[in-house]
């Protein structure tokens, strides 16, 4: 089946620094990828839709200047958490869809200290 690879799996950073998370579709082209955030013991909340070659579409309440999304190719989308604060600590997951199924990355656990 299709594979989506997310990197890194976990990262610890200091407050005020920026962190980049990569999401790659390994064996199919994805014109659209999605970024989710998941708090402990909760479901996935959609943050934004990443569109290849154009600006991302952000969900209400998600700061686009804080969560920068770049989808420069059909196989790669990146999420950069800028000027990270402890409240940004969370599990971030990307997904890419084919016509019939959504495939998820392994997730990135971000801890801001």
Q: What is residue 86's three-state secondary structure? A: helix
Q: Could you tell me where the DSSP H helices lie in the chain?
A: none
Return the number of the residue (82 or 104) whose C-beta is nearest other proteins.
104
CA–CA separation, 77 and 58 (whole Å): 14
- Closest distance between other proteins and the C-beta of residue 45, in Å? 8
Residue 42 vs residues 29, 38, 98: alpha-carbon distances, Å: 30, 6, 25
Interface of this chain with other proteins, residues 4 to 23, rule: CB under 8 A: 4, 6, 9
Residue of 21, 47, 56, 93 that binds other proteins (CB under 8 A): 93
User: Which spans of this chain sit near other proteins (rule: CB under 8 A)?
Assistant: 4, 6, 9, 32, 34, 41-46, 49, 91, 93, 95, 97, 100-107, 109
């Amino acid at each position: 089946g299709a594979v989506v690879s997310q990197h890194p799996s976990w990262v610890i950073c200091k407050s005020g620094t920026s962190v980049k998370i990569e999401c790659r579709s390994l064996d199919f082209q994805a014109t659209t990828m999605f970024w989710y955030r998941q708090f402990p013991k909760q479901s996935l909340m959609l943050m934004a839709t990443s569109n290849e070659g154009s600006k991302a579409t952000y969900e209400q309440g998600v700061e686009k200047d804080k969560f920068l999304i770049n989808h420069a190719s059909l196989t790669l989308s990146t999420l950069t958490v800028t000027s990270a604060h402890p409240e940004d600590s969370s599990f971030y997951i990307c997904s890419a869809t084919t016509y019939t199924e959504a495939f998820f990355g392994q997730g990135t656990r971000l801890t801001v200290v």
